[in-house]
Structure 1
Amino acid sequence: MSVSKYAVGEGPYGVAVAGGEVWTTLVQAGRVATASGRTFDLDAAQSRPSVIVDGPDDAVWFTRNGDDRIGRIGYDGVVSAVELAGAPYGLCVGPDDALWCTLMSADAIGRVTVDGEVSTYPIGTAGAFPAMITSYGGELWFTLNQGNAIGRMNLDGEVTTYPLPTESAGPVGISAGPDAVWFVEILTDRAGRITADGKVEEFPLPAGSKPHAVAATDDGGCWITLWAAGSLVQLDAEGNVIEQVAFGDGSEPHGLALDQAAVWVALENGSLVQVEG
């Protein structure tokens, strides 16, 4: 595996491949940057831009966890934002081409259209701390970090909850694959997979690694960042670790995204990393 690093600024966190660029949120600096060297100031140092995705409208969208907004940067460089209270964090494009996000402090899921229309839907579990979110099978799936469960919501806001078999697992990252949804358990060093009928399987990861984000692959496997271990691992469709890439102590890998030829990882110590195999 070959590894290339691109210095992008303070605190890279989320990653998206969009519009011919690789984008990252700089959570500590209140900015968004690209691997090619473009930087976008959000005029709010404490905005804490976090998860970023390619939108349906020639733009990237991202959560601003520090000031209750969903940000947007067009491929043309125009920056804007929509207010959405509740500490937005996880973000995905839903089956309806709207932006769906978790609202950590509100125990709710938010929806923002590309025209700026905002709706919120309660998840029905107090103190569950919804984290990451993904779209799968025409619905929204999300991790409940303090609820120790995976949530599922249809477009009408109806929620189903699937408790995890391991107690105090701390699920965070989640990503839809071709036939199941992958997630990671940061407190118990496991990856998990849940099918549409609610069947959950768990797979061990290196002890003390604290998995954070996951990106599913077309072959049924996934890539996972190991925050505490400073590395990236690849799992096959059976949950076996088949590849590990080390970035070094203190690198703090968080978000990741896939393109056709590489895996891109945000290292909070200041770099975007391109991994090609």
Structure 2
Amino acid sequence: MSGPQFQSQSQSKPQFTLDVRTVSDGEAGPYALTTGPDGALWFTLVHAGRIGRLVPGGEVTSHRLDPASGPTVITPGPDGALWFTEYRAHRIGRITTDGAVSGFALPTPECGPFGIAAGPDGALWFTETAADRIGRITVDGDVTEFPLPVAGAFPSAIAAGGDGGMWFALNQANALGRIGMDGAVELHPLPTPDAAPVGVAAGPDGAVWFVEIAAGQVGRRTPDGKITEFPLPDRAARPHAVTVADDGTAWFTEWGGNRVGSVTPNGAVATYDLPVPRSEPHGIAVGPDGALWAALETGDLVRVAPA
């Protein structure tokens, strides 16, 4: 059932209404979400080992996986199914829109797959946090792994860029990475030391946005290589995930600040308190209804739309 609504009272920033929808108990852990090809929100329940589905305004359904698999990030695939990482089972999973689940073991043991995104080549690309590798899996399940040129980098989120490559955050190497469709890897260090980037997303203008969980900043890298970092009002907010709306505005979650926020391409920052205390917001995505949706580990999804 829907929860309370909250409206920002500040007159100096755009007004948004936050509507909370409970989708699980507080132990299941909604973690990441995405819009599927069926016009529904699909989300991972990392602690419960389930994949959930919600059509805005409709009922919640969920599909069982191995309870200990740890489904983490989920994304639409080029085959009309949803693909997700199983962080604890070290597998890549696939679920069709009618709920049929399958999975693929990865060649490297204990590799810790985390981020996943469809590439321009018709395959899925993913990060291996514990193995310093980027993986590629075809829709038939063929896996190729590409080693990174740095050890202990902890690659996390990954996204398709507008330049034909895949961009990813190197949390412990303080850099962004890019891998081409030929497997060639480039590293792009960040200006702020020990910023610990986690989330990454590509904008419609070809810029790559990222969040720095340890520095309390949101960053933007233009196609010509210029990096700009935008400090958040609360530098201890621990921004976690980022997505980009159609107008080029980046939206992010503040895992430590219990907020969602936005940054325009010209650097205007706004943040919005979440109506659920200590909700631990993780993933964020544009929903099928055009609103922003975020996953709260308390068992809720929150919808963010203009007031």
- Output the TM-score relative to the length of structure 1: 0.96
Number of residue pairs matched by the alignment: 276
Amino acid corresponding to residue 177 of structure 2 in structure 1: G
The partner residue of 1:96 within 98, 117, 121 is 121
8 Å Cα contact 1:8/1:34 also seen in 2: no
* Within-5 A mapping of 1:77-156: 77-84=99-106, 85=108, 86-136=111-161, 137-156=163-182
> What runs of 5+ residues in structure 2 fail to find an aligned partner?
1-15
**Displacement, 1:246?**
2.3
Instruction: State whether residues 218 and 229 of structure 2, in contact with CA within 8 Å, keep that contact through their aligned partners in structure 1.
Output: yes
Could you report, residue by residue, the CA deviation over 1:29-83 in whole angstroms, capped at 9, with x for unpaired residues?
Answer: 11111223111110x2221100011111121111000011111110121000111
Give the greater-gyration-radius structure (CA). Answer: 2
CA displacement at 1:217 relative to structure 2: 2.1
CA apart distance, 1:241: 1.0
Instruction: Tell me how far 1:174 sits from its aligned partner.
Output: 0.2
1:140–1:153 CA contact under 8 A, matched in 2: yes
CA distance 1:80–1:219, shift in 2 (3 Å)? same
Identical positions, percent: 47
| Matching residue of 1:184 | 211
In the alignment, what sits opposite 2:296? 267
Please report how far the alpha carbon of residue 247 of structure 1 lies from its aligned counterpart in structure 2 after TM superposition: 3.2
Distance 2:114 2:94 in 1: 14
Alignment partner of 1:41 is 2:67: no
Deviations 1:155-190 (A, max 9, x none): 111111111111100000000002200000000100
State the partner residue of 1:11: 29
Contact 2:90 2:113 in 1 (8 A): yes
1:23 paired residue among 15, 33, 42: 42
Runs of 4+ aligned residues of structure 1 deviating over 4 Å after TM superposition are: none
Match of 1:65 among 87, 92, 114: 87
Partner of 1:238: 266
> Cα gap change, 1:105/1:243 in structure 2, threshold over 3 Å: closer, same or farther?
closer
CA RMSD of aligned residues (A): 1.2
Q: What amino acid does structure 2 have at the position aligned with 1:192?
A: G
In the alignment, is the contact (CA less than 8 A) between 1:142 and 1:150 conserved in 2? yes
Alignment of 1:168-207 (within 5 A): 168-179=194-205, 180-205=207-232, 206-207=234-235
**Given that residues 35 and 41 in structure 2 are in contact (C-alpha distance below 8 angstroms), is that contact kept between their aligned partners in structure 1?**
yes
Q: Name the one with the larger strand percent.
A: 1
**Distance in 2 between residues matched to 1:121 and 1:229, nearest whole Å:** 35
**Stretches of structure 1 lacking an aligned partner (at least 5 in a row):** none
Cα pair 2:259 2:271 within 8 Å, conserved:
no
Rounded to whole Å, the distance in 1 between the matches of 2:90 and 2:196 is: 23
When residues 5 and 246 of structure 1 are mapped into structure 2, their CA distance, relative to the original with a 3 A threshold, is closer
**1 CA distance for matches of 2:298 and 2:248?**
31
The 10-residue stretch of structure 1 (83-92 or 179-188) with the greater mean CA deviation from structure 2: 83-92
Contact 1:212 1:227 (8 Å CA) reproduced: yes
